[in-house]
Structure 1
Amino acid sequence: MPDTPPPDPEAALARLLDTMARLRDPVGGCPWDQVQSFETIAPYTIEEAYEVADAIRRGDRAALLDELGDLLFQVVYHARIAEEEGSFSFNDVAENIHRKMVSRHPHVFGSATARDAAAQTAAWEVQKAAERAARAETGTLAGIPDGLPALTRANKLTRRAARVGFDWPEPAAVLDKLEEEAAELRAELPEADPVRLADEVGDLLFVLANLARKLDLDPEECLRGANAKFERRFTAVEAQLAARGLAPNDAGLEAMEAEWQAVKRAERGASPE
């Protein structure tokens, strides 16, 4: 018979913290959990955050419940490792974010006048800048984590630079830069120097992230949509080939391209490109 759920959030959290402590116990804990570190757990933390976002995108509340629990467990895991080494505890994590949120919302917790969403966003950025200064993080681009997905970090870097006026005046100017970078990449193709090619492809992707920002789009979401579209269409191509008794390897590029175009035409008839 499953355990009866605890009657309140504090009890539920206490049970979770106790579970984590038992898993990490050096004598009776789980051998896998005992040897984990911040570094080995970090990839799982990132993965769980993406799975939360995916459940939200799909509108699957049951999955969201499950994935939020997995993400919370990651926070508890890191806090437990930190407590074992004497750095901080879960309580410190909770208290720190509490103080930060109170500080960043003086219109809620203080005497400041309530603002609309746009004004509050601006005030939030001012507060974060002050916090960076207190941590001696100087410079316009200070404090943007290296561990972010590259497209997301490019978006944040250029947004920060744009606040001090370092930006293209309009999206069309970014397209001009995109053409310039594409030409530079094309010029490198004959030599095929991997270092130079990587540099030029990086420049091209960075400009594309800028273009998304100028159009008020999230580059990660744009690429995620493109990934989903490619997956959907290629799966349909495979299904069409299978109906003809063919595998992709046997069909050849010409046949696959013909099926690809057929799938695109069918999709255009049902929804915008």
Structure 2
Amino acid sequence: TVLANWDAIKRAEKGRTSVFDGVPRSLPALSYAAKVQSKASGVGFDWPDVEGALPKIAEELDEVQQARRDGTADDVREELGDLLFAVVNVARHLKVDAESALRAATQKFRTRFEGVERLATARSIDLRATGDDEASRAEHLTALDALWDEVKRTPPLP
């Protein structure tokens, strides 16, 4: 294709030997992953569509769970990285910018939790009171979860 030829010419001009040459390692991690995946895709190393990429998420999640049970902290970190990489790959196939999707999800969480804080304050519930025993912590979490569900049912303010 014209694009493949253009990339080959540019690599030759700049003395690049890898499709990844020129991809800044300083990019935010999600953007870096998407760019690396896109470059690999450009030479044909990719699933043809999202249907091939989606099962990798479940596979990587299983590996996280196995590492959590049987592995070291480094194993867990590595498998979590693989899971994130698989999620970015699905996002890329769906033409979704993973960086902005995560930012939006984080903002949604923050907004909802701020709603939990407001409800807790209005009802004199101490968010930090977790108790010393497992039962107290579970009861506290149940109360906070109920507030969370209430906030989720409330339409967001414009």
Q: State the TM-score, normalizing by the size of structure 1.
A: 0.50
Task: Give 1 or 2 for the bigger CA radius of gyration.
Answer: 1
1:67 alignment partner in structure 2: none
Letter in 2 for 1:134: E
SS at match of 1:190: helix
What does 1:75-154 align with in structure 2 at a 5 Å threshold? 130-154=9-33
Do residues 224 (structure 1) and 112 (structure 2) align? no
Whether the 8 Å contact between 1:132 and 1:143 is mirrored in structure 2 is no
Determine helix, strand or coil for the equivalent of 1:267.
coil
Code of the aligned partner of 1:184: E
Aligned 1:1-273 pairs, distance under 5 A? 130-250=9-129, 252-267=140-155
Is the CA contact (8 Å cut-off) linking 1:188 and 1:196 kept in structure 2?
A: yes
How far apart in 2 are the matches of 1:240 and 1:132? 58
CA apart distance, 1:267? 3.5
Alpha carbons of 1:158 and 1:127: their partners in 2 closer, same or farther (altered >3 Å)? same
Residues 260 and 126 of structure 1: CA distance in aligned 2, closer, same or farther (over 3 Å): farther
Q: Identity of paired residues, percent? A: 36
Deviation of 1:191 after TM superposition, in Å, equals 2.9
Equivalent AA in structure 2 for residue 153 of structure 1: Y
1:192 shift after superposition: 4.7
Give the RMSD, CA atoms, in angstroms: 2.2
Structure 2 counterpart SS, 1:249: coil
Equivalent residues of 1:185, 1:201 under 8 A apart = yes
Give the CA deviation at 1:265. 1.5
Deviation per CA, 1:61-120: give whole Å up to 9, x if none: xxxxxxxxxxxxxxxxxxxxxxxxxxxxxxxxxxxxxxxxxxxxxxxxxxxxxxxxxxxx
Q: Distance in 2 between matches of 1:129 and 1:241?
A: 60
Unaligned runs of 5+ in 2: 131-139
SS at match of 1:250: coil
Specify every segment of 5 or more residues in structure 1 that has no aligned partner in the other structure, as ranges: 1-121
| Distance apart, 1:163 and its partner CA | 1.4
- Deviations for 1:152-199, whole angstroms, at most 9, x for unmatched residues? 011011111111111112212211111111111111112351110011
Distance 1:126-1:266 versus aligned 2 partners, 3 A rule: farther
Query: How many residues matched?
Result: 148
Structure 1 runs of 4+ aligned residues shifted over 6 Å read none
**Residue of structure 1 equivalent to 2:136:** none
